[in-house]
Amino acid sequence: MEIVALGVLFAVPPLIVIFVLILRHGRGNLRNDLASEAVDRGYLHQQDRRRKPSTQSHHYSEYFYHSHQRGCHILSLTPRRKNADRQLIKLYPDDLPILVHPVQEKPMLGKIDTHHHIVPPAYAAWLEQRGITAGGLAIPKWSVEGALDVMAAEDTATGIFSVSTPGVHLGDDVEAREKAREVNEFTADVVAKHPGRFGFFATLTLPDVDGAIAEAKYAFDALKADGVVLISSVRGTYLGDESWAPLFEELDRRHAVVFIHPGDLPCAPVPGIPPYAADFLLDTTRAAINIAKAGWLERFSNVKFILSHAGGFIPYAAQRIAHVVAADNTNEAGIARLRRFYFDTALSSSPFALPALLAFADPSHITFGSDWPYANKDRSVDFTKLLESYPLTETQRHAIYRGNAEKLFPRLAAA
Ligand SMILES: [Zn+2]
Protein backbone atom coordinates (compact mmCIF):
# COMPACT_ATOMS: atom_id res chain seq x y z
CA MET A 1 0.00 0.00 0.00
CA GLU A 2 2.74 2.41 1.00
CA ILE A 3 4.63 1.53 -2.17
CA VAL A 4 1.55 2.43 -4.30
CA ALA A 5 1.10 5.74 -2.43
CA LEU A 6 4.77 6.56 -2.89
CA GLY A 7 4.47 5.71 -6.60
CA VAL A 8 1.50 8.08 -7.02
CA LEU A 9 3.33 10.78 -5.06
CA PHE A 10 6.31 10.66 -7.41
CA ALA A 11 4.35 10.12 -10.63
CA VAL A 12 1.73 12.90 -10.31
CA PRO A 13 3.99 16.00 -10.28
CA PRO A 14 5.80 15.03 -13.50
CA LEU A 15 2.42 14.31 -15.11
CA ILE A 16 1.17 17.76 -14.10
CA VAL A 17 4.30 19.36 -15.52
CA ILE A 18 3.85 17.45 -18.80
CA PHE A 19 0.18 18.50 -18.94
CA VAL A 20 1.06 22.16 -18.40
CA LEU A 21 3.80 21.97 -21.01
CA ILE A 22 1.31 20.54 -23.54
CA LEU A 23 -1.13 23.37 -22.77
CA ARG A 24 1.57 26.03 -23.13
CA HIS A 25 2.72 24.46 -26.35
CA GLY A 26 -0.83 24.63 -27.71
CA ARG A 27 -1.14 28.31 -26.84
CA GLY A 28 2.25 28.97 -28.33
CA ASN A 29 1.07 27.42 -31.57
CA LEU A 30 -1.99 29.62 -31.52
CA ARG A 31 0.21 32.67 -31.10
CA ASN A 32 2.38 31.47 -33.94
CA ASP A 33 -0.72 31.07 -36.11
CA LEU A 34 -1.72 34.64 -35.42
CA ALA A 35 1.76 35.93 -36.10
CA SER A 36 1.93 33.92 -39.33
CA GLU A 37 -1.40 35.35 -40.35
CA ALA A 38 -0.09 38.85 -39.73
CA VAL A 39 2.99 38.11 -41.84
CA ASP A 40 0.88 36.61 -44.64
CA ARG A 41 -1.28 39.69 -44.76
CA GLY A 42 1.72 41.94 -44.90
CA TYR A 43 0.95 43.52 -41.52
CA LEU A 44 4.14 42.23 -40.02
CA HIS A 45 7.60 41.42 -41.26
CA GLN A 46 8.96 38.00 -40.45
CA GLN A 47 11.76 39.55 -38.42
CA ASP A 48 9.27 41.57 -36.34
CA ARG A 49 7.51 38.54 -34.91
CA ARG A 50 9.04 38.95 -31.47
CA ARG A 51 6.28 38.88 -28.89
CA LYS A 52 6.09 41.78 -26.48
CA PRO A 53 4.74 41.49 -22.93
CA SER A 54 1.09 40.59 -23.01
CA THR A 55 -1.87 41.35 -20.83
CA GLN A 56 -4.70 39.00 -20.05
CA SER A 57 -8.34 39.28 -19.10
CA HIS A 58 -10.83 36.52 -18.57
CA HIS A 59 -12.04 37.09 -22.13
CA TYR A 60 -8.80 37.00 -24.05
CA SER A 61 -5.06 37.25 -24.03
CA GLU A 62 -3.38 40.06 -25.86
CA TYR A 63 -0.09 39.76 -27.65
CA PHE A 64 1.65 42.77 -29.06
CA TYR A 65 3.96 42.80 -31.98
CA HIS A 66 5.73 45.90 -33.08
CA SER A 67 6.77 46.50 -36.63
CA HIS A 68 9.50 49.10 -36.66
CA GLN A 69 9.79 49.16 -40.41
CA ARG A 70 6.10 49.70 -41.02
CA GLY A 71 5.49 51.93 -38.06
CA CYS A 72 2.48 50.05 -36.82
CA HIS A 73 1.51 47.75 -34.00
CA ILE A 74 -0.21 44.43 -34.36
CA LEU A 75 -2.37 43.35 -31.50
CA SER A 76 -3.58 39.80 -31.59
CA LEU A 77 -6.36 38.58 -29.40
CA THR A 78 -6.46 34.94 -28.44
CA PRO A 79 -9.74 33.84 -26.91
CA ARG A 80 -9.75 32.33 -23.46
CA ARG A 81 -13.39 31.42 -23.74
CA LYS A 82 -15.06 29.15 -26.25
CA ASN A 83 -16.79 30.85 -29.19
CA ALA A 84 -14.80 34.05 -28.86
CA ASP A 85 -13.38 35.27 -32.16
CA ARG A 86 -9.68 35.18 -32.72
CA GLN A 87 -8.76 38.56 -34.09
CA LEU A 88 -5.89 40.54 -35.41
CA ILE A 89 -6.11 44.23 -34.79
CA LYS A 90 -3.88 46.59 -36.61
CA LEU A 91 -3.09 49.81 -34.77
CA TYR A 92 -1.69 52.77 -36.60
CA PRO A 93 0.40 55.39 -34.88
CA ASP A 94 -1.45 58.21 -36.65
CA ASP A 95 -5.12 59.06 -36.64
CA LEU A 96 -6.15 56.40 -39.14
CA PRO A 97 -8.90 54.09 -37.97
CA ILE A 98 -8.23 50.77 -36.34
CA LEU A 99 -8.79 47.71 -38.50
CA VAL A 100 -10.28 44.64 -36.95
CA HIS A 101 -10.12 41.43 -38.93
CA PRO A 102 -11.37 38.01 -37.86
CA VAL A 103 -8.38 35.77 -38.43
CA GLN A 104 -9.93 32.99 -40.39
CA GLU A 105 -11.98 35.03 -42.83
CA LYS A 106 -11.14 37.41 -45.63
CA PRO A 107 -10.60 40.94 -44.34
CA MET A 108 -14.03 42.44 -43.72
CA LEU A 109 -12.99 45.99 -44.32
CA GLY A 110 -12.54 46.07 -48.07
CA LYS A 111 -12.04 48.99 -50.40
CA ILE A 112 -14.33 51.97 -50.84
CA ASP A 113 -14.83 52.58 -54.55
CA THR A 114 -15.59 56.25 -55.25
CA HIS A 115 -15.75 55.75 -59.02
CA HIS A 116 -18.43 53.09 -59.36
CA HIS A 117 -21.22 53.62 -61.83
CA ILE A 118 -24.87 52.80 -61.84
CA VAL A 119 -26.85 52.60 -65.08
CA PRO A 120 -30.53 52.62 -64.18
CA PRO A 121 -32.25 50.52 -66.89
CA ALA A 122 -34.77 53.25 -67.75
CA TYR A 123 -31.90 55.76 -68.11
CA ALA A 124 -29.99 53.36 -70.39
CA ALA A 125 -33.08 52.89 -72.58
CA TRP A 126 -33.58 56.66 -72.76
CA LEU A 127 -29.98 57.17 -74.00
CA GLU A 128 -30.16 54.25 -76.43
CA GLN A 129 -33.34 55.64 -77.97
CA ARG A 130 -31.35 58.72 -78.86
CA GLY A 131 -28.37 56.82 -80.19
CA ILE A 132 -26.10 58.09 -77.42
CA THR A 133 -23.01 56.03 -76.57
CA ALA A 134 -20.72 56.08 -73.56
CA GLY A 135 -17.70 57.89 -74.97
CA GLY A 136 -17.70 55.63 -78.00
CA LEU A 137 -18.74 52.43 -76.18
CA ALA A 138 -22.19 50.88 -75.97
CA ILE A 139 -24.10 51.73 -72.79
CA PRO A 140 -23.11 48.86 -70.48
CA LYS A 141 -25.56 46.55 -68.79
CA TRP A 142 -25.87 47.06 -65.04
CA SER A 143 -27.41 45.05 -62.24
CA VAL A 144 -27.02 44.90 -58.47
CA GLU A 145 -25.77 41.32 -58.85
CA GLY A 146 -23.15 42.46 -61.35
CA ALA A 147 -22.06 45.25 -59.02
CA LEU A 148 -21.72 42.90 -56.05
CA ASP A 149 -19.87 40.39 -58.23
CA VAL A 150 -17.18 42.86 -59.32
CA MET A 151 -16.94 44.20 -55.77
CA ALA A 152 -16.25 40.67 -54.52
CA ALA A 153 -13.57 40.24 -57.19
CA GLU A 154 -11.89 43.51 -56.14
CA ASP A 155 -12.43 43.13 -52.39
CA THR A 156 -14.61 46.23 -52.34
CA ALA A 157 -16.79 46.78 -49.30
CA THR A 158 -18.69 49.82 -50.53
CA GLY A 159 -19.25 51.32 -53.95
CA ILE A 160 -20.34 54.95 -54.27
CA PHE A 161 -22.66 55.02 -57.26
CA SER A 162 -22.68 57.73 -59.88
CA VAL A 163 -24.40 58.11 -63.23
CA SER A 164 -21.74 58.59 -65.89
CA THR A 165 -21.63 60.88 -68.89
CA PRO A 166 -23.69 62.39 -70.48
CA GLY A 167 -25.83 62.79 -67.35
CA VAL A 168 -29.42 63.88 -67.79
CA HIS A 169 -29.35 67.26 -69.55
CA LEU A 170 -29.65 66.68 -73.27
CA GLY A 171 -30.99 70.15 -74.06
CA ASP A 172 -34.31 70.43 -72.22
CA ASP A 173 -34.48 71.70 -68.63
CA VAL A 174 -37.86 70.13 -67.83
CA GLU A 175 -36.85 66.72 -69.12
CA ALA A 176 -33.51 66.95 -67.30
CA ARG A 177 -35.23 67.65 -63.98
CA GLU A 178 -37.54 64.67 -64.46
CA LYS A 179 -34.67 62.34 -65.37
CA ALA A 180 -32.46 63.55 -62.51
CA ARG A 181 -35.24 62.84 -60.02
CA GLU A 182 -35.86 59.45 -61.60
CA VAL A 183 -32.23 58.25 -61.53
CA ASN A 184 -31.64 59.65 -58.04
CA GLU A 185 -34.69 57.94 -56.57
CA PHE A 186 -33.83 54.68 -58.32
CA THR A 187 -30.27 54.84 -56.98
CA ALA A 188 -31.27 55.82 -53.44
CA ASP A 189 -33.60 52.83 -53.40
CA VAL A 190 -30.75 50.44 -54.34
CA VAL A 191 -28.55 52.02 -51.65
CA ALA A 192 -31.27 51.64 -49.02
CA LYS A 193 -31.83 47.99 -49.87
CA HIS A 194 -28.14 47.10 -49.36
CA PRO A 195 -27.02 48.82 -46.17
CA GLY A 196 -23.30 49.52 -46.06
CA ARG A 197 -22.60 48.19 -49.54
CA PHE A 198 -23.39 51.31 -51.53
CA GLY A 199 -23.56 55.07 -51.40
CA PHE A 200 -24.32 57.55 -54.18
CA PHE A 201 -23.43 60.80 -55.82
CA ALA A 202 -26.64 62.52 -56.91
CA THR A 203 -27.11 63.53 -60.52
CA LEU A 204 -27.91 67.23 -61.08
CA THR A 205 -29.16 69.21 -64.06
CA LEU A 206 -26.40 71.58 -65.14
CA PRO A 207 -26.43 73.82 -67.12
CA ASP A 208 -29.86 74.39 -65.52
CA VAL A 209 -28.53 75.94 -62.30
CA ASP A 210 -31.87 76.44 -60.53
CA GLY A 211 -32.84 72.84 -61.28
CA ALA A 212 -29.44 71.65 -60.05
CA ILE A 213 -29.78 73.53 -56.74
CA ALA A 214 -33.30 72.17 -56.19
CA GLU A 215 -32.22 68.60 -56.97
CA ALA A 216 -29.13 68.87 -54.74
CA LYS A 217 -31.33 69.96 -51.82
CA TYR A 218 -33.75 67.09 -52.43
CA ALA A 219 -30.97 64.54 -52.88
CA PHE A 220 -29.15 65.52 -49.69
CA ASP A 221 -32.20 66.08 -47.51
CA ALA A 222 -34.66 63.43 -48.67
CA LEU A 223 -32.47 60.80 -50.33
CA LYS A 224 -29.40 61.11 -48.07
CA ALA A 225 -26.97 61.38 -50.99
CA ASP A 226 -23.26 61.16 -50.17
CA GLY A 227 -22.34 63.89 -52.65
CA VAL A 228 -23.02 64.95 -56.22
CA VAL A 229 -21.57 63.97 -59.58
CA LEU A 230 -20.95 66.71 -62.13
CA ILE A 231 -19.81 66.31 -65.70
CA SER A 232 -16.63 68.31 -66.46
CA SER A 233 -18.30 70.30 -69.19
CA VAL A 234 -21.74 70.66 -70.67
CA ARG A 235 -21.88 71.85 -74.29
CA GLY A 236 -18.74 73.90 -74.01
CA THR A 237 -19.26 75.36 -70.53
CA TYR A 238 -16.76 74.02 -67.99
CA LEU A 239 -17.00 73.72 -64.23
CA GLY A 240 -15.52 76.92 -62.86
CA ASP A 241 -17.82 79.09 -64.99
CA GLU A 242 -19.19 81.95 -62.91
CA SER A 243 -22.76 81.27 -64.08
CA TRP A 244 -22.64 77.99 -62.11
CA ALA A 245 -21.30 79.55 -58.91
CA PRO A 246 -24.74 79.69 -57.18
CA LEU A 247 -24.85 75.88 -57.20
CA PHE A 248 -21.43 75.78 -55.55
CA GLU A 249 -22.55 78.23 -52.88
CA GLU A 250 -25.18 75.64 -51.93
CA LEU A 251 -22.68 72.77 -52.15
CA ASP A 252 -20.17 74.71 -50.05
CA ARG A 253 -22.79 75.35 -47.41
CA ARG A 254 -23.37 71.58 -47.23
CA HIS A 255 -19.65 70.66 -47.22
CA ALA A 256 -20.43 68.50 -50.25
CA VAL A 257 -18.18 65.97 -51.96
CA VAL A 258 -18.26 66.70 -55.69
CA PHE A 259 -17.23 63.90 -58.02
CA ILE A 260 -16.14 65.31 -61.38
CA HIS A 261 -16.59 62.94 -64.30
CA PRO A 262 -15.50 63.64 -67.88
CA GLY A 263 -17.56 63.49 -71.02
CA ASP A 264 -17.03 64.21 -74.71
CA LEU A 265 -15.02 67.30 -75.53
CA PRO A 266 -17.06 70.17 -76.98
CA CYS A 267 -15.65 69.45 -80.41
CA ALA A 268 -15.75 66.57 -82.86
CA PRO A 269 -13.65 63.54 -81.94
CA VAL A 270 -10.78 62.46 -84.17
CA PRO A 271 -12.18 59.82 -86.53
CA GLY A 272 -11.30 56.38 -85.21
CA ILE A 273 -10.25 57.55 -81.74
CA PRO A 274 -13.06 56.92 -79.23
CA PRO A 275 -13.50 59.82 -76.77
CA TYR A 276 -12.88 57.66 -73.69
CA ALA A 277 -9.36 56.82 -74.90
CA ALA A 278 -7.91 60.32 -74.50
CA ASP A 279 -10.53 63.08 -74.89
CA PHE A 280 -12.01 62.25 -71.48
CA LEU A 281 -8.68 62.89 -69.78
CA LEU A 282 -8.40 66.31 -71.40
CA ASP A 283 -12.01 67.12 -70.45
CA THR A 284 -11.17 66.46 -66.77
CA THR A 285 -7.93 68.42 -67.04
CA ARG A 286 -9.70 71.43 -68.57
CA ALA A 287 -12.33 71.39 -65.81
CA ALA A 288 -9.67 71.17 -63.10
CA ILE A 289 -7.72 74.08 -64.57
CA ASN A 290 -10.88 76.17 -64.94
CA ILE A 291 -11.96 75.49 -61.34
CA ALA A 292 -8.51 76.26 -59.96
CA LYS A 293 -8.04 79.38 -62.11
CA ALA A 294 -11.44 80.70 -60.97
CA GLY A 295 -10.25 80.44 -57.37
CA TRP A 296 -13.07 78.04 -56.51
CA LEU A 297 -10.85 75.72 -54.47
CA GLU A 298 -10.46 78.52 -51.92
CA ARG A 299 -13.78 80.30 -52.49
CA PHE A 300 -15.70 77.05 -51.93
CA SER A 301 -13.18 75.58 -49.54
CA ASN A 302 -15.74 73.30 -47.85
CA VAL A 303 -16.30 71.44 -51.11
CA LYS A 304 -14.13 68.36 -51.75
CA PHE A 305 -13.52 67.98 -55.48
CA ILE A 306 -12.64 64.44 -56.64
CA LEU A 307 -11.17 64.29 -60.15
CA SER A 308 -11.74 61.10 -62.15
CA HIS A 309 -8.94 58.95 -63.55
CA ALA A 310 -6.12 60.41 -61.46
CA GLY A 311 -7.04 63.91 -62.61
CA GLY A 312 -6.63 63.37 -66.35
CA PHE A 313 -3.22 64.89 -67.05
CA ILE A 314 -3.00 67.08 -63.95
CA PRO A 315 -0.32 65.19 -61.95
CA TYR A 316 1.80 64.48 -65.03
CA ALA A 317 1.60 68.04 -66.39
CA ALA A 318 1.23 70.00 -63.13
CA GLN A 319 4.53 71.82 -63.48
CA ARG A 320 3.64 73.28 -66.87
CA ILE A 321 0.03 74.02 -65.88
CA ALA A 322 0.76 75.58 -62.48
CA HIS A 323 1.40 79.22 -63.40
CA VAL A 324 -1.82 79.31 -65.44
CA VAL A 325 -3.95 78.62 -62.36
CA ALA A 326 -1.94 80.67 -59.85
CA ALA A 327 -3.30 84.01 -58.70
CA ASP A 328 0.27 85.39 -58.62
CA ASN A 329 1.46 83.51 -61.71
CA THR A 330 4.01 81.45 -59.76
CA ASN A 331 4.52 77.70 -60.04
CA GLU A 332 4.53 77.27 -56.27
CA ALA A 333 1.11 78.84 -55.80
CA GLY A 334 -0.28 76.94 -58.77
CA ILE A 335 0.98 73.58 -57.52
CA ALA A 336 -0.41 74.29 -54.04
CA ARG A 337 -3.80 75.05 -55.58
CA LEU A 338 -3.91 71.95 -57.74
CA ARG A 339 -2.93 69.76 -54.80
CA ARG A 340 -6.23 70.66 -53.12
CA PHE A 341 -7.99 68.34 -55.53
CA TYR A 342 -8.75 64.69 -54.74
CA PHE A 343 -7.90 62.04 -57.33
CA ASP A 344 -9.34 58.58 -57.91
CA THR A 345 -7.35 55.66 -59.28
CA ALA A 346 -9.93 54.49 -61.84
CA LEU A 347 -8.14 53.08 -64.92
CA SER A 348 -5.05 54.92 -63.67
CA SER A 349 -3.29 52.43 -61.44
CA SER A 350 -0.72 51.31 -63.98
CA PRO A 351 2.99 51.44 -63.12
CA PHE A 352 3.21 54.30 -65.63
CA ALA A 353 0.50 56.47 -64.07
CA LEU A 354 0.91 55.80 -60.36
CA PRO A 355 4.39 57.34 -60.00
CA ALA A 356 3.09 60.72 -61.20
CA LEU A 357 -0.06 60.51 -59.09
CA LEU A 358 1.79 59.51 -55.93
CA ALA A 359 4.48 62.13 -56.47
CA PHE A 360 1.96 64.91 -56.99
CA ALA A 361 -1.15 64.29 -54.92
CA ASP A 362 -1.60 64.97 -51.23
CA PRO A 363 -1.39 61.40 -49.83
CA SER A 364 -4.71 61.90 -48.05
CA HIS A 365 -6.40 62.92 -51.33
CA ILE A 366 -6.25 59.66 -53.32
CA THR A 367 -9.24 57.29 -53.44
CA PHE A 368 -9.83 53.93 -55.07
CA GLY A 369 -11.92 53.79 -58.24
CA SER A 370 -12.99 50.93 -60.51
CA ASP A 371 -15.01 52.66 -63.27
CA TRP A 372 -17.19 49.55 -63.51
CA PRO A 373 -19.24 48.79 -65.58
CA TYR A 374 -17.95 51.23 -68.22
CA ALA A 375 -14.69 49.41 -67.66
CA ASN A 376 -15.95 45.83 -67.85
CA LYS A 377 -15.19 43.39 -65.06
CA ASP A 378 -12.00 41.98 -66.60
CA ARG A 379 -10.54 45.39 -67.37
CA SER A 380 -11.50 46.81 -64.01
CA VAL A 381 -10.07 43.82 -62.13
CA ASP A 382 -6.85 44.03 -64.16
CA PHE A 383 -6.34 47.64 -63.09
CA THR A 384 -7.17 46.79 -59.49
CA LYS A 385 -4.58 44.01 -59.55
CA LEU A 386 -2.01 46.51 -60.81
CA LEU A 387 -2.80 48.70 -57.82
CA GLU A 388 -2.65 45.76 -55.43
CA SER A 389 0.72 44.65 -56.76
CA TYR A 390 2.23 48.15 -56.82
CA PRO A 391 4.78 48.68 -54.03
CA LEU A 392 2.98 50.93 -51.57
CA THR A 393 3.56 51.31 -47.85
CA GLU A 394 0.84 49.84 -45.68
CA THR A 395 -0.15 53.37 -44.70
CA GLN A 396 -0.50 54.43 -48.35
CA ARG A 397 -2.41 51.28 -49.21
CA HIS A 398 -4.91 51.66 -46.40
CA ALA A 399 -5.39 55.35 -47.18
CA ILE A 400 -6.09 54.70 -50.87
CA TYR A 401 -8.22 51.61 -50.35
CA ARG A 402 -10.53 53.17 -47.77
CA GLY A 403 -8.97 55.49 -45.19
CA ASN A 404 -9.16 58.65 -47.32
CA ALA A 405 -12.71 57.84 -48.41
CA GLU A 406 -13.72 57.29 -44.77
CA LYS A 407 -12.74 60.88 -44.09
CA LEU A 408 -14.81 62.07 -47.04
CA PHE A 409 -17.78 59.90 -46.02
CA PRO A 410 -17.65 59.56 -42.22
CA ARG A 411 -20.70 57.30 -42.22
CA LEU A 412 -18.51 54.61 -43.82
CA ALA A 413 -15.75 54.89 -41.22
CA ALA A 414 -14.85 51.76 -39.30
CA ALA A 415 -16.72 51.51 -36.05
ZN1 LIG B 1 -16.37 56.61 -65.11
Report the candidate in 378, 387, 395 with the shortest Cα–Cα distance to residue 153: 378
Distance 162 CA to ligand 1 centre (A): 8
Distance 165 CA to ligand 1 centre (A): 8
Residues 6+ apart with CB under 8 A from 288: 260, 305, 307, 311, 312, 314, 338, 341
Residue 1's Cβ-count burial label (10 Å; 0-12, 13-18, 19+) is: exposed
pLDDT single digits (tens) 194-248: 989 999 999 999 999 999 999 999 999 999 999 999 999 999 999 999 999 999 9
Distance 114 CA to ligand 1 centre (A): 10
Distance 74 CA to ligand 1 centre (A): 37
Helix 209-221 vs helix 245-253: crossing angle, to nearest 10: 20
- The strand order across the sheet containing 87-91 reads 52-56, 60-67, 72-79, 87-91, 99-102
The whole-angstrom separation of Cα 202 and Cα 215 is: 8
Distance 122 CA to ligand 1 centre (A): 19
Supply the pTM of this predicted model. 0.75
Distance 245 CA to ligand 1 centre (A): 24
The whole-angstrom separation of Cα 153 and Cα 282 is: 30
Distance 117 CA to ligand 1 centre (A): 7
Domains of the chain: 42-108 (no CATH), 111-412 (3.20.20.140)
pLDDT tens-place values along the chain, 415 residues long = 566 666 666 776 666 666 555 545 444 555 555 556 655 655 555 555 544 434 444 444 444 444 444 444 445 544 444 444 445 554 444 433 334 443 333 344 799 999 999 999 999 999 999 999 877 788 999 999 999 999 999 999 999 999 999 999 999 999 999 999 999 999 999 999 998 999 999 999 999 999 999 999 999 999 999 999 999 999 999 999 999 999 999 999 999 999 999 999 999 999 999 999 999 999 999 999 999 999 999 999 999 999 999 999 999 999 999 999 999 999 999 999 999 999 999 999 999 999 999 999 999 999 999 999 999 999 999 999 999 999 999 899 999 999 999 999 999 996 5
Q: Which residues pair with 89 in a beta bridge?
A: 75, 100
Distance 137 CA to ligand 1 centre (A): 12
Neighbours of 389 (CB within 10 A): 10
